[in-house]
Structure 1
Amino acid sequence: MSGTEDDFLHHDFYTEERWKNWLNKVRESDFKFEESEEPQGKEGAIFVNMEDDIILACLKIIAKYDRGQISAESAMQMLSRIRDIALTEVDPISEDADLMIDSLQTSLIGSFAACECYLSGDYDEKDNVDDLVKVALEAESSDDIEIALATVAEIGALILKGNELSDKTMEEVPFGLVAEWLDGIDSISAAMVGADSYKEDEEDDEFC
């Protein structure tokens, strides 16, 4: 997709319709948690795909910023529109589905914070990702949630810059807010490794 910065500002990288389509798929799936520890299968994959869809839309915006096609301020505006769609309170579907959507939205808070931190440049490229994970966990244990999220955002910015969040580090993170936010960062990392089509300068009007 080529055009001026103003064109990009008026382009919908993600729409409310798209989000509602995913929610309809969740309703149709009649998702329920399984007793076993096996993967949830096709129904559970819906939530992974929902998150990936949003992450890729964010990465397309980041890519346009990296190419100098849009300013950081414009990119922030575009991300804000996506965040408002994805983090809006969702009407109850079922107990299990509601828990999954809540978890997905918590994870996305980490993803959006990372993108914003990257665009603002409010991070130090010399910082060590593993050390920052420890700082975030210490902040969470001290109930300093604002510092914990800001630190996770820095981690995400470093991932967007090309650093890695190791599987070993992720495995050692105890369940909590930081763990859920880091899942959002891990999703960014996976999307960046999985495919680089989001970097291509072309139109994307296909909706789920």
Structure 2
Amino acid sequence: MSGREDEVFHHDFYTEERWKNWLNQVKESNFKFDESAEPQGKEGAIFVNMEDDIILACLKIIAKHDRNQLSSDAALDMLSRVRDIALAEIDPISEDADLMIDSLQTSLMGSFAACECYLRKEYDEKDDINDLVKVALEAEASDDIEISLATVAEIGALILSGKELSEKTMEDIPYGLVAEWLDGIESIAAAMVGSDSYKDDEEDDES
């Protein structure tokens, strides 16, 4: 490992304390679904911000890898640290909050799988995203969850490589695991077209 890579390797892209801060905010919000069973207002935005925070940490790791500051193995190791924090089982908060966090973690499974697929270069840039969505949905319908997630991961890797996930494609997807995983891919796409501060070397403040 080079000196520069070793320096980056010991940088915390995301910490358990940061995740706990978000969970504390969820507890303090006393989050409840409204009558339409939809998350509303500031309390509902907490979960969006939690997910975005994780996604940005992942994108920072990938940006350093793409700048040749991190090897694939080192980047994958850092990504696994973030994943272990974000996907760890949490203590119950409330029925509504627990449902939202479970949905968020399911969505992030798609995000992490996509980042891993990209770092391992286990995708073909010639593949069509709409075709891959069909494959993922067919695999889900056949209860072949492993193939389904792997296909969603390739979709995400293609997004990370510069392709686009159209709104029309997302509109036609029925609710299920693929839809939730693709929500995590959509979050990656949104973060990439938003602020590109994740490409900078400076460290962020804690939330």
Normalising by the smaller structure, the TM-score range is over 0.9
Q: Which amino acid aligns with 1:106?
A: T
* Identity in percent: 80
Aligned to 1:155: 155
Aligned to 1:203: 203
Contact 2:33–2:39 under 8 Å retained in 1 = no
Superposed, which structure 2 residues align to 1:71-82 within 5 Å? 71-82=71-82
Deviations 1:147-168 (A, max 9, x none): 0000000000000000011111
Listed as ranges, the gaps of 5+ residues in structure 2 are: none
Cα displacement (A) at 1:36:
3.5
Give the distance between the partners of 2:171 and 2:28, measured in 1 at CA: 32
Contact 2:122–2:154 under 8 Å retained in 1 = yes
Give the RMSD, CA atoms, in angstroms.
1.1
In the alignment of these two chains, the number of paired residues is 205
Cα displacement (A) at 1:69:
0.6
Give the distance between the partners of 2:201 and 2:56, measured in 1 at CA: 14
Secondary structure of the equivalent of 1:157? helix
Give the distance between the partners of 1:54 and 1:160, measured in 2 at CA: 15
Secondary structure of the equivalent of 1:165? coil
Deviations 1:121-158 (A, max 9, x none): 00000001111001000000000000000000000000
Does 2:45 correspond to 1:45? yes
Aligned to 1:87: 87
TM-score, normalising length from structure 1? Answer: 0.96
Contact 2:61–2:78 under 8 Å retained in 1 = yes
Larger deviation, residues 34-43 vs 152-161: 34-43
Cα displacement (A) at 1:96:
0.3
Deviations 1:11-43 (A, max 9, x none): 100000000000000000000001147761100
Give the distance between the partners of 1:150 and 1:73, measured in 2 at CA: 19
Aligned to 1:12: 12
Contact 2:32–2:39 under 8 Å retained in 1 = no
Aligned to 2:22: 22
Deviations 1:64-86 (A, max 9, x none): 00001110000000000000000
Aligned to 1:165: 165
Listed as ranges, the gaps of 5+ residues in structure 1 are: none
Secondary structure of the equivalent of 1:11? coil
Give the distance between the partners of 1:24 and 1:167, measured in 2 at CA: 33
Give the distance between the partners of 2:125 and 2:21, measured in 1 at CA: 38
Larger deviation, residues 158-167 vs 30-39: 30-39
Does 2:114 correspond to 1:121? no
Deviations 1:153-196 (A, max 9, x none): 00000000000111111111000000000000000000001111
User: Could you list the runs of 4 or more consecutive aligned residues of structure 1 that deviate by over 3 angstroms after TM superposition?
Assistant: 36-39
Give the distance between the partners of 2:34 and 2:7, measured in 1 at CA: 46
Secondary structure of the equivalent of 1:4? helix
